[in-house]
Structure 1
Amino acid sequence: MKKLLLLLLLSTSFAFSQQTKFQKIDSLLTFLNTNNKFMGELSIIEKGKMVFSKAYGFADVESGKKLDVNTKLKIGSITKTFTATMIMQLVDEKKLTLDTKLSKFYPKIPNAEKITIHHLLHHRTGIPDFLNDDPTVGEFIYVENKKEDLVKRIENYTSAFEPNSQHKYSNSNYNLLGYIIEDITKKSFSENLNTRIIKKIGLKNTLFPTKIDITKNEGYSYFFDGKNWAKVPEWHSSLSFAAGAMASTTSDLNLFLEALLEGKLTSKSSLEQMKSMEDYYGKGLIIAPFEDRKFYGHTGGIENFRAAAGYNPEDKTGFAIIVNGDNYNRNDIMIGVLSLFYGSDYSFPEFKQFEVSKAVLEKYVGTYKSAAFPMKIKVFVENGNLLAQATGQSSFPLTAKSETEFVFEAAMIQLIFGENKMNFKQGTMAFEFVKE
């Protein structure tokens, strides 16, 4: 009897521990949502079981339609992991090799005879990014981009470096891989996605959408303008295509990465190829470390959607987040979630804003340009808040850290203002802008 009682106590203690862990994660996301820092979904998979799945906020603010765990949201560059998986399936089927040259499909692209499928997968081509390196991209975001037109633009770019001499992330690489999938199979990217991955592993809420449809439980993305959540205009899906146009749920992302990394979608050798890093990037996969753990996955961002998903094959645990209300750094959210899940020290963030007078804010209003940056940045005041907007992009709110320093934490952007000038920092990039 004593042994049975002890077992019952241990079982109850374990269940309470598990419940407390997930309650803390829920409290963090509820706290962020209540403070207008986050809307979106999070799910956690552990040893094949979905142990946490919850949604916060709205799919459509205007109609009041709330998110639920089946609401499909755009995943941005996590699309690249799906694209890379299908490429490796074609390699397994001997319809393609990693040494196949780009010139076999698109010979007019500069250095096509030197660029291989391997180079495309690892972003080692020197092909400029049609999204971030082309100053005319604003003309193409909201209109249909036919395959032949986008390929023509890529053909006219000047190569940034000799193929395989370095790594530089470029969405052009993965759109070309998507076109190659279509060229080889004679089927659309969407058809390949459905047969090769979605139906094969039973995903319920993953698709290649043409346009967001609320009636099909799909959601929009938003930014917080200081008072309200403001809808971000939808891009045309043909632009981001195989590099970033897909939509999914966090549960489906966990199921996908679990299936991929447990060897259910490619051969063992192809999976090892995907996991092999060159300059911190594999074939459609990156490694996200947390303490002594390694999660294989990807991150994504499009419009104001932000996503991240990773799976640890050692403890068979996966985490996925999709943000559709972007007003706080996605990585900081995931650090909080992982810390609470694994029992690491963590304190909820404090939200305090430095007060800057309207007169000072007005001094920063204007359009800024930099010879080293392809787009101009417009700075303006709206509803008493300072906002910034790059050419052809959505505007984003700025939080004051001092009278001269402002940040947009969600994208790790820092703006420091001086007399008719502005220093722009994002990650490791830094540019000096001058006011026109």
Structure 2
Amino acid sequence: MKKILLVVMILLSWAFVAEAQDVGKQISNLVDAYAQLGKFNGSILVAAKGKVLLNKGYGFKDVKEKTVNDANTVYQIASVTKTFTSTLVLKLVEMEKIALTDNVAKFYPGFPQGDSITIAQLLSHTSGISDDSSADRVKNQPDSTEELFIATLKARKLDFSPGTDWKYSNSGYILLGYIIERVLGMTYYEAIRTYIFQPLQMNASAFDFVGLASPDKATGYWAFPESDTVRPATLIDYRAPRAAGAIYSTTGDLYTWHRGLQTGKLISLSLLDKAYTPVRNQYGLGWIIDSVGTSRVVSHSGDIWGFKSELTRVPADDICIIQLNNIEDVDLRSITRKILAILYHQPYQLPARNEIQLSQPALREYEGDYLLRPGEWIKVRVENARLMATTNRKQELYAQRNGVFKIDDGYDQIVVTFHKGASGKVTELSFTIGGNKIICKKRVGTPE
């Protein structure tokens, strides 16, 4: 009987390894396709059930120096920092140094409506604290003090009554960082090191990216660096975003972060479950909440000048997807969705690409404004030798053949056809969604 059980276990192990290899190959092919299109330039790690399926770098770390990204490249992770701030706050809750129901007035007496704004609301972006232009000016000043920051918040009206609505607030997280400092008597940065980085041995993670002198440091770019003359993006000092976005890290360290959360090494799994529970607008306590099949997906993205990041986890299935890019103009969410589709054996598509190459004059034939519905236009323009369509967001049109293009939104690929009139000029475009053909007439007087 024992021999039979041993054989069964070996067969199951072989089956898992074979499946993991196949899944890893599919994921690698997918990311390769995005990288070849200039839509991924960074490092990625994908793991499931403790097995790393992909851990690789793509593209240039520094295009001028011709260095390339790898698994050790260091990037700014921007708002993925919020998952660390949230976990540290929950750690203080577990230590009974703070409560989620504590209000801002407890730490800052006289703060407007401070007795109505709770720690939980700051974590879930339901506090009403605004990120208006005056706040942006303050938080983008590295030498801004706690006193100046609080004075700025006090002088500004809330976006809504606390707890009644949702609006993303970097200022709310910066405020959480200052509250952490008051509770612990140490800087926010010291606190993250003490309670998270050091226990998990996240030795490649810290804060001062501007001052980092390391051959692994990535240079940030606004868009894919197509030549060595492209100018790098301006770096933002870590003391500007503070607890809302100060951390730099690697894919390896962020996987260590995932493992630490999975095992309850930092805080209890029951507290994490509270963080993973939506409050409003699919946002919990420092995490964006979604699902794949019947499993809960928790994630956070980051976006700062020259860098984009995304950390996605499925705690119940021990899945972790980490994407760090040193270009800002990328759609990492589409890649995440397709990787999840591969992992859960769901259909997915490789990214659309140009099947033919059209000259800039040829692309300009399609420029114009096309009526989608009363008062709403699809604006088609040529930008950097690419044909772009803009409604509430901007998407690229990929040439399949003359007059026929594809839009890839990460879920589906929609075929867009441009039609010409008797004069030989484009007069309308059409596409089909859900079996319904949509015809959009071109506005008279827009580019032909």
Which TM-score applies when normalising by structure 2?
0.74
User: Matches of 1:152 and 1:401 in 2, distance apart?
Assistant: 50
Deviations 1:39-98 (A, max 9, x none): 111112333343431111122222122212121211121111100111111112221112
Distance 1:285 1:354, change over 3 A: farther
SS in 1 for 2:219: coil
Instruction: Trace 1:217-296 onto structure 2 (pairs within 5 A).
Output: 217-224=216-223, 227-228=226-227, 230-279=231-280, 280-296=282-298
Q: Is the 8 A contact 2:306 2:327 kept in 1?
A: yes
SS in 2 for 1:224: coil
Pair 1:111-2:113 in alignment:
yes
Deviations 1:238-257 (A, max 9, x none): 22110112111223223213
- Residue 376 of structure 1 corresponds to which residue in structure 2? none
SS in 1 for 2:326: strand
Instruction: Trace 1:40-189 onto structure 2 (pairs within 5 A).
Output: 40-129=42-131, 133-134=132-133, 137=136, 141=140, 143-189=142-188
Q: How far off its partner does 1:155 sit?
A: 2.1
Query: Unpaired segments of 5 or more residues in structure 2?
Result: 369-380, 411-448
Q: How far off its partner does 1:176 sit?
A: 0.4
Distance 1:200 1:172, change over 3 A: same
Q: How far off its partner does 1:175 sit?
A: 0.4
Amino acid paired to 1:237: Y
User: After the TM superposition, which of the residue ranges 215-224 and 25-34 deviates more from structure 2?
Assistant: 215-224
Q: Is the 8 A contact 2:75 2:217 kept in 1?
A: yes
Q: Is the 8 A contact 2:301 2:309 kept in 1?
A: yes
SS in 2 for 1:175: helix
Distance 1:398 1:276, change over 3 A: closer
- Residue 431 of structure 1 corresponds to which residue in structure 2? none
SS in 1 for 2:222: strand
User: Matches of 1:263 and 1:139 in 2, distance apart?
Assistant: 36
Amino acid paired to 1:211: V
Amino acid paired to 2:91: Q
Distance 1:139 1:155, change over 3 A: closer
SS in 2 for 1:300: strand
Q: How far off its partner does 1:409 sit?
A: 7.5
**Equivalent in 323, 347, 350 of residue 348 of structure 1:** 350
- Residue 415 of structure 2 corresponds to which residue in structure 1? none
Query: Percent identity among equivalent residues?
Result: 29
SS in 1 for 2:157: coil
User: After the TM superposition, which of the residue ranges 328-337 and 345-354 deviates more from structure 2?
Assistant: 345-354
User: Matches of 1:109 and 1:118 in 2, distance apart?
Assistant: 17
Q: How far off its partner does 1:215 sit?
A: 2.0
Deviations 1:372-429 (A, max 9, x none): xxxxxxxx99866799xxxxxxxx99845799x9x9979xxxxxxxxxxxxxxxxxxx
SS in 2 for 1:231: coil
- Rg larger in 1 or in 2? 2
Distance 1:186 1:409, change over 3 A: farther
User: After the TM superposition, which of the residue ranges 279-288 and 77-86 deviates more from structure 2?
Assistant: 279-288
Deviations 1:171-207 (A, max 9, x none): 1111000111111112111111111011112223222
Amino acid paired to 1:267: S
SS in 2 for 1:86: helix
Q: How far off its partner does 1:333 sit?
A: 1.0
Q: Is the 8 A contact 2:387 2:398 kept in 1?
A: no
Deviations 1:265-314 (A, max 9, x none): 11344323322221122111222322332122322221232222222232
Q: CA RMSD in A?
A: 3.7
User: Matches of 2:8 and 2:395 in 1, distance apart?
Assistant: 55
- Residue 203 of structure 1 corresponds to which residue in structure 2? 202
Amino acid paired to 1:72: V
Distance 1:7 1:210, change over 3 A: closer
How many residues matched? 384
Q: How far off its partner does 1:354 sit?
A: 7.5
Q: How far off its partner does 1:8 sit?
A: 7.5
Distance 1:152 1:142, change over 3 A: closer
Specify which structure has the bigger relative contact order, considering alpha-carbon pairs within 8 angstroms and separated by 6 or more residues.
1
Amino acid paired to 2:107: F
Query: Unpaired segments of 5 or more residues in structure 1?
Result: 365-379, 388-395, 411-436
User: Matches of 1:14 and 1:94 in 2, distance apart?
Assistant: 43
User: After the TM superposition, which of the residue ranges 166-175 and 46-55 deviates more from structure 2?
Assistant: 46-55
User: Matches of 2:54 and 2:225 in 1, distance apart?
Assistant: 31
User: Matches of 1:260 and 1:114 in 2, distance apart?
Assistant: 31
